């Protein structure tokens, strides 16, 4: 077990290092110059040189890479070329929007996907199951930005219940912020709910076929109780695995949804940073996201291995 963890951690660090170096090299190739960007059309050799000195771009690439990597353990990720504030600050501010959005979306996903999956399984092969499964198929096929556009069309333009976008900041209170996050969370959650629904339903059905469930039924328990007491618990593991892996999907979806709703979150931060040549922000966000994904993978792998009695017996 300890050996497994050690091996996973080494692989994790190796991959992260590769991601860091890879993103640094790739991003430097993007056309445009952050120094000239600050100066605009009247940029001249002397102001460009001064700007490059200010941004630290006058150092050779190898040194810049070294400075960056050396600063990461202490939390010094560098200073944004565009905003002139520490990148760490920007990422934290952005996470203050994206993380709650993700949790909100996950809550909606579970609230919709969970009960519907249970319902479908309870009525397996009858019309509720068919209807729910078809709806899930439809949900999978729907682009989240289209859902976002339609939600804005109905709830903002036509009904005027919520603003079309924007985020007032947590200082304005929880209410206004939750209102601002509701439509985006729904847009993110609907396709995810469809995925969760199908996965949970499949896992539940598979577990339901197991012998110990048939025993429970034979003992006289109602289908519902069998479901809740035995089946659900065992199906939680694959479902939890999937929820963890969907984190990366959430971050990907948030780029588009945050753009539609103009939310100052991580997705919008990195998208605008790419467009504005704020490469230092981009590579830090890329590294952060890769780290989160890889860590979640490792944790899930280790947890599964730990929980699986077959591995524990070894």
Site for other proteins in 87-116 (CB under 8 A): 93, 97
**261-to-82, 168, 231, 253, 265 alpha-carbon distances in Å:** 22, 12, 39, 12, 10
Question: Is residue 261 a contact partner of residue 184, using CB atoms and an 8 Å limit?
Answer: yes
Residues 194-213, interacting with other proteins (CB under 8 A): 195, 198-199, 202
Query: Of residues 263, 280, 281, 288, which one binds other proteins by CB under 8 A?
Result: 263
Number of residues that bind other proteins (CB under 8 A): 90
Residues 201, 118, 237, 143: is their CA dihedral positive or negative?
A: positive
* b (16+ CB within 10 A) / e for 67-98: ebeeebeeeebbbbbbeeeebbebbeebbbbb
Contact 94, 269 (CB under 8 A): yes
Instruction: Look at the chain and count its residues.
Output: 314
Q: Quick check: 227 binds other proteins (CB under 8 A)?
A: no
State the number of CA atoms in the 13 A half-sphere of 48 facing the CB: 10
Nearest to 139 by CA among 183, 193, 184: 193
Residues 6+ apart with CB under 8 A from 11: none
Query: Does 155 interact with other proteins (rule: CB under 8 A)?
Result: no
Q: Is 159 in the site for other proteins (CB under 8 A)?
A: no
Angle at 165 between CA 189 and CA 159, to 5 degrees: 85
Q: Which stretch binds other proteins (CB under 8 A): 41-49, 68-76, 101-109, 207-215?
A: 41-49
- The least distance separating other proteins from the CB of residue 306, rounded to whole angstroms, comes to 21
Contact segment (CB under 8 A) with other proteins among 68-76, 115-123, 211-219, 248-256 equals: 248-256
* Minimum distance of other proteins from residue 6's CB (angstroms): 17
- Binding residue for other proteins (CB under 8 A) from 2, 3, 29, 220? 29
CB of 63 to other proteins, least distance (A): 21
Q: Which of 8, 64, 65, 82 binds other proteins (CB under 8 A)?
A: 82
Shortest Cβ 260–other proteins spacing (Å) = 8
Residue from the set 2, 3, 40, 62 that interacts with other proteins by CB under 8 A:
40
If the CB atoms of residues 54 and 69 are measured against other proteins, the closer one turns out to be 54
């Amino acid at each position: 077990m300890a050996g497994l963890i050690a091996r996973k951690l080494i692989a994790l660090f190796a991959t992260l290092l590769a991601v860091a170096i890879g993103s640094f090299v790739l991003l430097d190739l993007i056309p445009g110059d952050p120094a000239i960007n600050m100066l605009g059309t009247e940029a001249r050799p002397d102001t460009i040189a001064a700007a490059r000195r200010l941004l630290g771009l006058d150092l050779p690439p190898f040194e810049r890479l070294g400075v960056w990597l050396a600063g990461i353990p202490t939390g010094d990720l560098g200073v944004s070329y565009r905003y002139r504030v520490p990148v760490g600050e920007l990422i934290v501010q952005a996470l203050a929007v994206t993380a709650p959005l993700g949790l909100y979306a996950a809550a909606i996903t579970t609230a919709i996907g969970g009960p519907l999956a249970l319902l479908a399984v309870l009525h397996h092969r009858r019309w509720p199951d068919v209807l729910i499964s078809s709806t899930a198929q439809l949900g999978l096929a729907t682009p989240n930005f289209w859902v976002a556009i339609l939600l804005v069309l109905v709830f903002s333009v036509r009904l005027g219940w919520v603003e079309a976008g924007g985020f007032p900041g947590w200082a304005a209170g929880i209410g206004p912020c939750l209102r601002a996050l509701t439509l985006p969370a729904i847009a993110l959650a609907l396709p995810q709910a469809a995925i969760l629904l199908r996965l949970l339903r499949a896992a539940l059905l598979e577990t339901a076929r197991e012998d110990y469930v048939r025993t429970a039924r034979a003992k006289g328990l109602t289908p519902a109780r069998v479901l809740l007491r035995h089946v659900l618990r065992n199906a939680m593991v694959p479902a939890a695995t999937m929820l963890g892996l969907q984190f990366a999907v959430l971050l990907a979806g948030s780029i588009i949804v945050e753009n539609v709703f103009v939310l100052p979150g991580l997705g919008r931060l990195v998208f605008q940073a790419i467009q504005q040549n704020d490469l230092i922000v981009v590579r830090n966000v890329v590294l952060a996201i890769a780290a989160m994904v890889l860590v979640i993978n490792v944790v899930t792998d280790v947890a599964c291995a730990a929980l699986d009695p077959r591995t524990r017996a070894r």
